[in-house]
């Protein structure tokens, strides 16, 4: 806009110069740079010559400013192109690493929330029906939205549009709770497991984050079932002159023995 205004001013100045020259000589239109006639030849007066010179000088200065603005515009365009190229190439490796770590932590937390909701749905269904649900589909009322069946890190799967369209392809989690038993008698039985993060959902409604990957030795297979048994629980399985974990499934074990400050979800 500044360039346009200045160009208009230059044009007006040129027209003014031409008008002054024509008015003084009565001759045909001449360009702004026309030769100035002397007063003796009937040309413009000294005052008019000074005004013409002043206008010409101003026109030259404006032309110089216009050239500077054009150069500044070209530099700005070059800078914008560089910024666009930098944005297209992404962040620095350090920034990319921080961003990726933050995204993964958010995805892992959302995965824990999903497993928590699934474990609670399992427990609710089992208590209402007095036996364990044979599959995920029968718990649709307790689960609610199909979105909780997909881990945020599982980019190869999509949530089913509704339960009518649901299939195993729409679930990221392994369901391990479809065989015999009661959830109130086996609180540390593993019901759901996430292959992406290694988190597990237990029959007591709790979730142990990342156990399957960080501490696979905490998972014990028995009679076709998988149980979560950290070292503290394993040390209490056989108590001298007391019940064992295998003979008394209701033995009160600490559901969150991990000293990690991250609360058990």
Identify whether the C-beta of residue 201 lies closer than 8 Å to the C-beta of residue 175. no
Q: Is residue 37 very low, low, confident or very high in pLDDT (cuts 50, 70, 90)?
A: very low
Average pLDDT over residues 161-179: 91
DSSP 10-55: HHHHHHHHHHHHHHHH--S---TTPPPPPGGGT---HHHHHHHHHH
Q: What is the pTM assigned to this prediction?
A: 0.55
Tens digit of each residue's pLDDT (9 = 90 or more) over 120-133: 999 889 888 888 88
Looking at every residue in the chain, the average pLDDT score rounds to 76
Instruction: Read off the tokens for 192.
Output: 């759901």
pLDDT of residue 201: 94
Kindly list the domain boundaries of the chain, sorted by start residue: 2-24+44-89, 93-235
Specify the DSSP element, H or E, that contains 228: strand 225-228
């Amino acid at each position: 806009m500044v360039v346009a205004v200045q160009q208009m001013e230059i044009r007006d100045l040129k027209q003014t110069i031409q008008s002054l020259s024509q008015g003084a000589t009565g001759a045909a239109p001449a360009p702004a740079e026309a030769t100035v006639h002397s007063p003796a030849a009937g040309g413009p007066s000294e005052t008019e010559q000074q005004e013409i010179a002043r206008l010409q000088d101003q026109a030259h200065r404006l032309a110089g400013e216009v050239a500077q603005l054009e150069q500044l515009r070209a530099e700005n365009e070059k800078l914008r192109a560089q910024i666009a190229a930098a944005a297209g190439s992404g962040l620095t490796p350090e920034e990319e690493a921080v961003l990726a770590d933050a995204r993964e932590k958010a995805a892992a937390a959302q995965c824990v929330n999903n497993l928590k909701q699934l474990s609670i749905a399992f427990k609710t269904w089992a208590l209402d029906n007095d036996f364990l649900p044979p599959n995920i589909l029968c718990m649709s009322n307790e689960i609610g939205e199909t979105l909780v069946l997909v881990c945020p890190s599982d980019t190869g799967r999509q949530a089913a549009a509704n339960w009518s369209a649901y299939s195993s392809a729409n679930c990221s989690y392994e369901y391990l709770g479809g065989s015999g038993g009661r959830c109130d008698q086996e609180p540390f039985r593993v019901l759901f497991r996430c292959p992406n993060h290694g988190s597990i959902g237990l029959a007591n409604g709790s979730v142990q984050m990342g156990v399957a990957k960080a501490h696979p030795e905490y998972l014990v297979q028995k009679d076709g079932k998988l149980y979560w048994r950290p070292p503290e629980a394993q040390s209490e399985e056989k108590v001298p002159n007391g019940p064992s974990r295998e003979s008394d499934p209701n033995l009160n074990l600490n559901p969150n023995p991990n000293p990690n400050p991250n609360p058990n979800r």
